A = this chain, B = another copy of it.
């Protein structure tokens, strides 16, 4: 029993809700539940598949009490424990020693809890997770508080004692939840990854994008009409650059700020013909919109009684998406005017904030939810609404959104962000894996060919490979010095679709995030130290705060590939090579084992490494679009290193919802050593009803250790 948590008044009554998952309500039962309001059921069967496990502490160590209109939860912490998650942060991985106010908001340059997806979930490196299922701005004190009723923390002299640190060790997490009640759900491990899997499956399981969603995306300028857009697609073909999806920006509507959601007859006189024309070239159309409904359009008149009592930003009505009537009106309009004619999905902008764009905290909505509660869920409610439109038509969608939260994991949306710091973008990709969201480091512009290349490379190894450079009209070939390297990585992205699609299938079926931190797989180097005391620096670090040596510029993509992006302007970068042997993705050469290597900033390709025994299925030939449903997919199966390996290759029709009824296929791939010690590949019996169109052309054994 951790002595630092005994101060709380009341213990909780825990119920088992799935193997290794417990639930309790602190205080009153009148909290607004994220999952309940959004309405996503747990993936019960998949949860059962993970089996039971125990928590590394006694649940009696979790307590609560009331605190002036709030509810205070306290949870135990080990002395050196690390905490990950608490939403989509962009600077930090380990959240210990920080205080975060979890508010859905525009991200504002540094981590403080105000972010696009402030998911109230953390996972500990001791192998468990904690989720507070409440739609409020929860304030989390992640190992910073010291009640005077308990012994004070050890005191060290700042001048003479090297043990002095920027924050004294606290052995408790405290969470201040507005209101009188809160639902707490804890997830056993035994590993961090298994705790995250349980969380993801409890929240509905990961999303499975359509196969075309994993191709390359591009967005056209605001002024573009149908003909301009068609010409843009031809330009990609003529120059031999991949393209699967084109996104339209504020321009396709009769009005955008606020939005009518109606095609402009001037720019798109025949939307159905336009969408069809594009589709015949294999290009899907994605539509930008925001959540502010033009009060004078047809939908606006319909939605007014189901809206909040404040217009948002540019004078738009805000539909109360907790009301079925509001959702039905929006869904009917979107279905009729977009989905029915073949539009593939949406980019939902500005539903996170800034505060001046959205409704104020004191707005009232007809559902009775507070303005704050609704804002915490608005992005997820929109994701659900639109996903359901496609589902009813038996189709999948994939899109972008500015806001999410717990409960969003099953919806096929990727978060994007207006900040544009490349390192923060990579940290965002990594942090998404701790909290059930996806983030795209989309490319919007560059100050140099080098920056352009580095950004395109990174986005091609992310959940959504998108160019969002409509504002300044940079195109993949705009920097001739790097156009070939840009084309190569875009084509590699498409070739990797079988590998990536299988990773997303694991997300859907087992809750394993397709993009994630090294720490989440426990494949940190032995040399990794829990804390490294920062050096005093009168400007950057005057307090010598204890800096955690987070590895926040490299990540796992699927189970076998580690990506270590290069950043413009840097002569070289360090790459942490975790325990186990690792190999260069391109050459198969051994690069190291539990070490740090330097990679030159002049390296043409994005540095990627494969773990020993890693199996990577690729489309045999470079191509510009994801294979269409039913098309044969010739594969090269690569194996790296010397160890035996296995891979579950996933397939389905790539576009419909049939996979939800087991109309899919899992094909086991294995590499084993034969009698002469020679590696050989084989496939096991496929499971699932779908007849895969994969065709294995080649098992390719990368050279390995010379």
Question: Footprint of B on A, CB under 8 Å?
Answer: 67-70, 72, 97-99, 108-110, 112, 139, 141, 144-149, 152-159, 164, 167-168, 174, 176, 222-223, 250-251, 255-258, 294-296, 304, 307-315, 317, 354-357, 360-362, 370, 418, 420, 444-445, 468-472, 536-539, 542-543
Across the interface, A149 reaches (CB within 8 A) one of B68, B222, B309, namely: B309
Chain B neighbourhood of A309, CB < 8 A: 147-149
A250 touching B471, Cβ below 8 Å: no
* A158: chain B residues within 8 A (beta carbon): 222, 250, 256-257
A538 close to B356 (CB less than 8 A): no
A103 to chain B, nearest CB (A): 10
Q: Is the CB of A315 within 8 A of B146?
A: yes
Q: How far is the CB of A301 from chain B (nearest CB, A)?
A: 13
The count of identical subunits is 2
Task: Please name all residues of chain B whose beta carbon is closer than 8 Å to the beta carbon of A420 when the two chains form the complex.
Answer: 539
Q: Are A354 and B99 in contact (CB under 8 A)?
A: yes
> Are B360's CB and A222's CB within 8 A?
no
Q: Once bound together, how far apart are the Cα atoms of A145 and B471, in whole Å?
A: 28
Contacting pair A256 B307 (CB below 8 A): no
What residues of B have a CB within 8 angstroms of the CB of A257 in the complex? 155-158, 164
| Chain B: minimal CB distance from A229 (Å) | 15
Given A174-B360, A362-B72, A542-B418, A99–B315 Cβ distance below 8 Å?
no
Question: Are B445's CB and A139's CB within 8 A?
Answer: no
**Nearest chain B CB to A226 CB, angstrom units:** 15
- B255 engages A537 (CB within 8 Å): no
| Least CB distance, A5 to chain B, in whole angstroms | 14
Q: Establish whether residues B471 and A537, one from each chain, have CB atoms under 8 Å apart when the complex forms.
A: yes
**Of A145, A356, A370, most B-chain CB atoms within 10 Å:** A356
Of the residues B362, B445, B470, B471, contact of A68 by C-beta under 8 Å:
B362
Q: Which residue of B lies closest to A109 (CB)?
A: B109
Q: Are A155 and B308 in contact (CB under 8 A)?
A: no
Q: Please, how many angstroms separate the alpha-carbon atoms of A141 and B362 in the complex? A: 11
Residues of the B chain whose Cβ atoms lie less than 8 Å from the Cβ of A69: 69
* B-chain residues with CB within 8 Å of residue A304 when the two chains form the complex: 148
Chain B, Cβ-Cβ closest to A445: B538
Q: Nearest chain-B residue to A100 (Cβ)?
A: B355
Q: Are B251 and A356 in contact (CB under 8 A)?
A: no
In the complex, chain B residues whose CB is within 8 Å of the CB of A317: 148
Q: 8 A-B Cβ contacts within 8 A?
A: A68-B370, A97-B356, A153-B315, A155-B294, A157-B256, A158-B250, A168-B315, A445-B538
Beyond the given A139-B360, A153-B311, please list 10 additional residue pairs across the A-B interface where CB-CB is below 8 A.
Answer: A69-B69, A70-B362, A72-B362, A109-B110, A147-B309, A148-B310, A158-B257, A159-B251, A168-B314, A176-B360
Given contacts A250-B159, A472-B538, contact A168 B308 (CB under 8 A): no
**Closest B residue, CB atoms, query A536:** B471
For the complex of A and B, list the 5 residue pairs with the smallest distance between their C-beta atoms, beginning with the closest: A99-B355, A471-B538, A146-B311, A67-B362, A144-B356
| A251: B residues at CB distance < 8 A | 159
| Complex CA distance for A68 and B360, rounded to whole angstroms | 13
Minimal Cβ-Cβ distance residue in B for A176:
B362
Task: State A146–B363 Cα separation when bound (angstroms).
Answer: 10
Taking the nearest CB of chain B, how far is it from the CB of A240, in angstroms? Answer: 25
For A146, list chain B residues within 8 Å (CB): 310-312, 315
Complex: A386 Cα to B536 Cα, angstroms: 30
Query: Which among B168, B468, B536, B542 is the interface contact of A313 at CB below 8 angstroms?
Result: B168
Distance of A672 Cα from B310 Cα, bound (Å): 60
Contacting pair A538 B355 (CB below 8 A): no
- Rounded to whole angstroms, the CA-CA distance of A144 and B355 in the bound complex is 9
Q: Is the CB of A152 within 8 A of B356?
A: no
* A453 vs chain B, min Cβ distance (A): 17
Complex CA–CA separation, A462 to B622 (angstroms): 64
Q: Whole-angstrom distance from the CB of A440 to the nearest CB of chain B?
A: 15
Contacts of A308 in B (CB 8 A): 148
